[in-house]
Copies of this chain bind each other. A is one copy, B any other.
Amino acid sequence: MKGFIIDLDGTIYKNYQIIDGAREAIELLKKNNLPFVFLSNRGNISRKDCLKKLNQIGIDCRIEDVILASTIAARFFQQRKEESIWILGDEGLKEELIDHQVNLASKPEQADWLLITLHEQLTYEDLNNAFRAVLNGARIAVTNHDLIFPREDGPCIDVGGLIAAITATTGAKVQYSFGKPSPFMRDAALQQLQLEATDCVVIGDGLSTDMQLGIINEMKTAFVLSGVASVEDLHKANITPLFMGNTILDVVKDILEGVKHEYH
């Protein structure tokens, strides 16, 4: 194993609370000179926000070690300067788009694209503006499709809910989804690591995101139980990761020892 692609929510932290062993796991990778990249479907924060948060909870890394769905969306629309974007989502996405000089629409009715991400500050008028953008012809792109994310106080409704609200009422379909397991995220991670997919392991708590990214790209997979999915969910989804543990520290230790964890 040459490179590590590591999820954040449910793997490294839950909101502002670090998960047991996460700091030690990253230190272990560094001590062994193993390159890693944090790859997260979070689209509602900017890389700067995320780096600050990681540093605050004691994870020492650089901004280029962090790739978010918001980063990927911003890079995508940076290449389409002639088109304007309306956002349904938190301020972090807007910051990331502005950092990439993306053209933001001044009114929903004038937008070429509606870009949807998680919106924890959502109001009805935000939802209605997004609806009107699509009614007036904006195409839909989304940072990710996740249905649920973990917070300290329990599971929370994710961007999938906002996407469904807009698509069900307008009849429009999503044109692009940037998050894991999309090739946008894969390419960005491998470019940062400068490695081939088959040399990498994906560590995460998500079945349709992290595990799926690994499966479709012939990467190794390592599943952690510290997030939203359980062993039962794994079985239901008929997914058999190569490694499994309660925390990222467990699986990193197993990977370094070359142990395939048996959990049947």
Contact = CB atoms under 8 A, between A and B. Distances in A.
Contacts of A147: 168-169
Contacts of A122: 122-124, 127
A155 B20 CA distance: 49
B155 A164 contact: no
Q: Determine the main DSSP class of A at the interface with B.
A: helix
A183 interface: no
Interface stretch (A35-43, A128-136, A173-181): A128-136
17 contacts: A119-B124, A121-B124, A122-B122, A122-B123, A122-B124, A123-B123, A128-B157, A131-B157, A157-B165, A157-B169, A158-B169, A161-B166, A164-B164, A164-B165, A164-B169, A165-B165, A168-B168
Interface of A: 119-124, 127-128, 131-132, 135, 147-148, 154-158, 160-169
Q: Return the 10 tightest CB-CB contacts between A and B, nearest first.
A: A164-B168, A161-B165, A131-B157, A164-B164, A122-B124, A147-B169, A165-B165, A161-B169, A120-B124, A128-B157
